Structure 1
Amino acid sequence: MPSPTIGRRTRPAYPILLLLAPVLAAGCATTRPGVPPDGAAPTPPAVWATDEQPAAPSAATAPTGPARPAPSSAGPPATAPRAGLRHVFPVRADDVAYHPTHGAYPATDIFADCGEPFVAVTDGTVVEVSRTDRYDKRGPQGPENGGLSVALLGDDGVRYYGSHLSVVTTGVDAGVRVRAGQQLGKVGRTGNANNVCHVHFGISPPCPGRDGWWIRRGVLWPARYLDSWKRGGNREPAAEVTAWQRKHGCPKAP
């Protein structure tokens, strides 16, 4: 498994992998694709996040004790989902690539240099933040795989999740409002990122009251939405998310 740091305009010499081996049940793909694919305002909230950036901390060593505080979280806002909102590509970088597939469940890995901005896909409310890397490869695989992460509930009723971040932006906390394109954090390799700089990106319904990492990590294939946003389009996943939830509800942990 490759483990070099991806530098600016430098790509590791990965072998051609047309058949990606599935990773652990809640894991991420670990190869960067050789060729990237083609590429009314909300009610003013009381608090908006800022774009101030702290220095990126080193990933914390996973604790060995049984007590692990949960990531900060907030319930979804009591507003009806809205259509026609602006959507943007979640990583702001010149050199970016992603797979149309992912191991074990629907999601994708967006590869870019460590430190590139991870941004809000659309206007919405931050619902969950993890600023500590608690992943331990010797422990249960799934709950802590994401390392540093941010989950955003868009005003379109869709949850957007990015993990393996190197840092979460100051002021981005549960309950805070953000705008499309606003920086939430930076690309990193925390959690089970296998030393490869990327953002795990998942799309899912919020599932209040019966939530969990197995839903938050992603339930839809994001590639066709990413393709649109990367080209400046505005394809909206809300209808597909709604249809998925009508069929599956909020399933319990696998």
Structure 2
Amino acid sequence: MFPVGGCRADASQSHHDYPASDIFARVGCLFVAPVDGRVDEVTRVDSWDPGTNRGADRGGLSVSVVGVDGVRYYGSHLSAIQAGIAPGVEVRAGQPLGRTGKTGSARGTPPHLHFGISWPTGPNRWWVRRGAVAPQRFLNSWHEGGQLSPVALVAASRRAYGADRGCRSYC
């Protein structure tokens, strides 16, 4: 399911330095679970500081879901997170997770949802969580009502990535 609902949203067809998409929409649009799954990580405090620009803090308010398909879906720069959304909570496709916004490093940009697709990792592996597989073709499919799955591409990308030696780009 397309991860922004309740208003017009346009997904970028490219992203800087690592695979992800910025889905531009006004502040307050719904960020919804793209698949059935369970909440993996939630960041409810925006601790990004432009003076340090720590990669782990760039997302501001964020939620990630590990789908029943084994893929992690990540959304950040949220203005709010829905009540009851916490690690381990089961969610259904289309269920609200939060609201689009401008937190983290998006403070000086138009409002958007940063959307990343990756494989599940241990806690705080932000360099994988932020996006490891280009999501554009999947977002385009879902926006048109299609059901293109990223499972095979995520598995191939994980094999190609190899051992996790930490952040490799835009750290």
The alignment's TM-score, normalised by the length of structure 2, stands at 0.93
CA RMSD, aligned part only? 1.2
Q: Could you tell me whether the CA contact under 8 Å between 1:164 and 1:188 is conserved in 2?
A: yes
Considering fraction of residues, name the structure with more helix. Answer: 2
Aligned length: 166
| Equivalent residue, structure 1, for 2:155 | 242
Aligned to 2:136: 223
Q: Which has the higher strand share?
A: 2
Letter in 2 for 1:117: L
Amino acid aligned to 1:206? P
Q: What is the one-letter code of the residue matched to 2:160?
A: K
Q: Which residues of 2 match residues 81-92 of structure 1 at below 5 A?
A: 88-92=1-5
Distance in 2 (alpha carbons) for counterparts of 1:249 and 1:213 = 16
Q: CA deviation at 1:164?
A: 0.2
Unaligned runs of 5+ in 2: none
1:188 aligns with 2:101: yes
Uncovered stretches (5+) of structure 1, i.e. residues with no partner: 1-87
Question: 1:109 is matched with which residue: 17, 22, 27?
Answer: 22
The answer as to whether partners of 1:100 and 1:221 remain within 8 angstroms in 2 is no
Identical columns (%): 48
1:250 Cα deviation (Å)?
4.8
Q: How does 1:83-232 map to 2 (within 5 A)?
A: 88-193=1-106, 194-208=108-122, 212-232=125-145
- The residue type equivalent to 1:196 in the other structure is P
Which 4+ stretches in 1 moved above 3 angstroms?
Answer: none
CA distance in 2, matches of 1:173, 1:89: 21
Q: Distance in 2 between matches of 1:223 and 1:93?
A: 20
CA distance in structure 2 between the partners assigned to 1:244 and 1:182 by the alignment: 28
2:7–2:29 CA contact under 8 A, matched in 1: no
Separation in 2, partners of 1:252, 1:150: 24
